[in-house]
């Protein structure tokens, strides 16, 4: 089964705009479908293509890059002999797959693009990490694009459903509820998406009718690949990224919204783990959400990255991590799909919202503040789950795993900060409504923000 991915249109736009004047690097976590989409694009948009997988290429191909890149005629002659095929000029694509494993090939893009014979598409996991590129010159001819797990709309496309998300977008634009029956049906689809997740292998397995146990085995295999990557990093650099990663579910189920290093070691401090956290965040395995000390439109300027949350990059993988913690597979999946999720697992809902915001190109920020309500003799700490910038204004966003309509943190936030906030949203499990100048959105409408 071949999945339809939105990034395909981005690749097509790059090809038409670039005209061979730049290469494109697809960044993303392992198993999000980078290689698959690159080859699909190559087959459909070019007369021919050649894929160089640097996880598999031998010494001769690597030596050709090292010794002959300055002599294009010699380089291509040798490459085509080694690979047993030749490509038509100006109508072929060369894919550098897993290019982070051979940085010299990435550096060579400068000369290959200048040569102008072919187009170049690169794919890489963990490639944005500084130490992967510290010894090479990143070519200015290289553009970048991020690839994420399937979003909710792509998940529905895999099932042949192309009507639901346009209806969601129309209701959001009009600020009109969809109606109880339609809302209930969409929430069923959405909870299934949370359970399965957006990793292509898992989505295909679901679309083909596999059981949740089989789907979970696929996701457990992906988690093992991630853990192997992190262990290798730890062994090379003496870090503990694997431990940081493993504690994410516990952080989320112990009512601890902020990452607490004592879960790793009672003496652990942020400064000792900052490189490991950066590694995990830049690898796109997890999404970091930093506290901002001031709700200003220039959120990143007020970010305190030592006070942060870690969300899994794919919520379906988080569900599978929770299953490792002793939850029964059938019970947890049934609870998700039939809206019987235990309150202790409410952070699963916050995780899916974080994932949807990242897919919409938002950097994740939250805001904690102290405020003394009129009926209190002490200041208390409050928190806004996410702060976005929409239409050049700060937009606070709260996430609730139930149909609760309480909004104290919103009210006190407005009292504390004399700034104009035209949009305030609470994401919850019921249909759209507007009350107290707050728009209550069903969880799936996070895709519209």
Non-local (6+) Cβ contacts of 401 within 8 A are: 341, 343, 346, 348, 349, 350, 429
Same domain, 269 and 240: yes
If we measure between CA atoms, which residue out of 387, 326, 329, 335 comes closest to residue 362? 387
- Structure confidence at residue 2 (pLDDT): 92
Decide if 258 is inside a domain.
yes
Which one of 106, 121, 146 terminates a domain? 146
Non-local (6+) Cβ contacts of 332 within 8 A are: 319, 322, 323, 345
* pLDDT average, residue stretch 393-405: 86
Rounded to whole angstroms, how far apart are CA atoms 154 and 32? 13
Decide if 1 is inside a domain.
no
Rounded to whole angstroms, how far apart are CA atoms 291 and 300? 10
Decide if 432 is inside a domain.
yes
* pLDDT average, residue stretch 304-313: 93
Decide if 442 is inside a domain.
yes
Same domain, 413 and 310: yes
**Does residue 327 register a pLDDT over 80?**
no
* pLDDT average, residue stretch 287-293: 95
- Structure confidence at residue 91 (pLDDT): 96
Which value, to the nearest 10 degrees, does the dihedral of the CA atoms of residues 344, 346, 348, 349 take? 180
- Structure confidence at residue 377 (pLDDT): 85
* pLDDT average, residue stretch 315-322: 93
Same domain, 319 and 437: yes
Question: Is residue 30 within 8 Å of 125, Cβ to Cβ?
Answer: yes
- Tell me the whole-structure pTM to 2 decimals: 0.92
If we measure between CA atoms, which residue out of 443, 386, 434, 388 comes closest to residue 409? 386
Same domain, 354 and 224: yes
Q: Which domain holds residue 335?
A: 154-448
Tell me what the pLDDT averaged over the chain comes to.
Answer: 90
- Structure confidence at residue 94 (pLDDT): 98
- Chain centroid to CA 221: how far? 18
Same domain, 443 and 354: yes
* pLDDT average, residue stretch 388-392: 94
Tens digits of residue pLDDT in 10-54 = 999 999 999 999 999 999 999 999 999 999 999 999 999 999 999
Alpha carbon separation from 96 to 54, 123, 369 (Å, rounded): 7, 6, 47
* pLDDT average, residue stretch 270-286: 86
Alpha-helical regions (H) of 285-346: 315-323, 329-337
Which one of 80, 113, 146 terminates a domain? 146
Structure confidence at residue 407 as a pLDDT band (50, 70, 90): confident
Same domain, 162 and 120: no
Same domain, 205 and 323: yes
- Structure confidence at residue 19 (pLDDT): 94
* pLDDT average, residue stretch 412-424: 89
* pLDDT average, residue stretch 174-192: 96
Question: What is the tally of structural domains in the chain?
Answer: 2
**Does residue 281 register a pLDDT over 80?**
yes
Same domain, 141 and 165: no
Question: Is residue 443 within 8 Å of 431, Cβ to Cβ?
Answer: no
Least confident of 3-12, 78-87, 316-325, 348-357: 316-325
Tens digits of residue pLDDT in 109-136 = 999 999 999 999 999 987 655 566 666 7
Same domain, 34 and 163: no
Strands 92-97, 119-124: pairing kind: parallel
Structure confidence at residue 84 as a pLDDT band (50, 70, 90): very high
Rounded to whole angstroms, how far apart are CA atoms 12 and 79? 26
**Does residue 335 register a pLDDT over 80?**
no
- 259 secondary structure, DSSP code: -
Question: Is residue 270 within 8 Å of 291, Cβ to Cβ?
Answer: no
Same domain, 205 and 334: yes
Q: Which CATH number fits the domain that encloses residue 121?
A: 3.40.50.300
Decide if 314 is inside a domain.
yes
If we measure between CA atoms, which residue out of 69, 54, 51 comes closest to residue 112? 69
Decide if 226 is inside a domain.
yes
If we measure between CA atoms, which residue out of 27, 143, 25, 45 comes closest to residue 93? 45
* pLDDT average, residue stretch 278-287: 92
Same domain, 89 and 231: no
Decide if 344 is inside a domain.
yes
Rounded to whole angstroms, how far apart are CA atoms 107 and 179? 55
**Does residue 328 register a pLDDT over 60?**
no
Least confident of 53-62, 177-186, 261-270: 261-270
Tens digits of residue pLDDT in 339-377 = 666 655 678 899 999 999 999 999 999 999 999 888 888
Decide if 378 is inside a domain.
yes
Rounded to whole angstroms, how far apart are CA atoms 9 and 23? 16
Same domain, 254 and 377: yes
Which one of 88, 120, 146 terminates a domain? 146
């Amino acid at each position: 089964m071949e999945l339809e991915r939105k990034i395909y249109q981005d690749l097509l736009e790059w090809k038409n705009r670039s005209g061979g004047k730049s290469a494109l690097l697809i960044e993303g976590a392992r198993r999000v479908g980078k290689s698959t989409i690159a080859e699909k694009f190559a087959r459909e948009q070019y007369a021919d293509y050649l894929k160089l997988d640097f996880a598999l290429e031998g010494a001769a191909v690597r030596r050709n890059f090292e010794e002959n890149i300055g002599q294009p005629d010699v380089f291509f002659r040798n490459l085509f002999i080694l690979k047993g095929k030749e490509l038509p000029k100006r109508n072929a694509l060369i894919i550098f797959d897993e290019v982070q494993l051979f940085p010299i090939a990435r550096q060579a893009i400068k000369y290959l693009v200048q040569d102008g014979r072919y187009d170049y598409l690169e794919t890489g996991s963990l490639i944005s990490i500084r130490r992967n590129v510290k010894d090479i010159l990143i070519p200015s001819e290289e553009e970048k694009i991020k690839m994420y797990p399937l979003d909710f709309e792509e998940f529905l496309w895999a099932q042949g459903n192309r009507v639901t998300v346009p209806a969601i977008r129309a209701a959001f634009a009009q600020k009109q509820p969809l109606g109880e029956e339609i809302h209930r049906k969409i929430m069923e689809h959405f909870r299934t998406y949370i359970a399965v997740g957006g990793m292509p292998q898992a989505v295909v397995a679901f679309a083909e009718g596999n059981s949740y146990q089989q789907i979970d085995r696929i996701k457990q295999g992906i988690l093992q690949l991630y853990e192997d990557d992190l262990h290798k990093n730890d062994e090379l650099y003496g870090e503990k990224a694997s431990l940081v990663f493993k504690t994410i579910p516990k952080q989320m189920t112990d009512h601890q919204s902020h990452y607490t290093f004592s879960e790793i070691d009672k003496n652990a401090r942020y400064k000792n783990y900052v490189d490991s956290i950066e590694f995990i965040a830049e690898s796109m395995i997890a999404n970091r959400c930093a506290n901002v000390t001031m709700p200003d439109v220039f959120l990143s300027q007020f970010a305190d990255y030592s006070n942060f949350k870690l969300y899994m990059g794919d919520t379906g993988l988080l569900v599978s991590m929770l299953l490792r913690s002793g939850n029964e597979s059938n019970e947890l999946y049934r609870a998700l799909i039939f809206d019987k999720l235990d309150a202790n697992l409410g952070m699963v809902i916050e995780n899916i919202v974080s994932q949807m915001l990242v897919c919409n190109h938002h950097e994740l920020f939250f805001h904690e503040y102290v405020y003394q309500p009129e009926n209190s003799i002490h200041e208390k700490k409050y928190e806004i789950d996410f702060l976005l910038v929409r239409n050049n204004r700060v937009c606070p966003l709260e996430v609730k795993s139930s149909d609760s309509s309480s909004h104290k943190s919103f009210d006190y936030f407005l009292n504390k900060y004399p700034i104009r906030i035209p949009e305030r949203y609470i994401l919850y499990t019921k249909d759209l409504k507007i009350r107290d100048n707050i728009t209550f959105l069903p969880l799936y409408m996070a895709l519209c923000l």
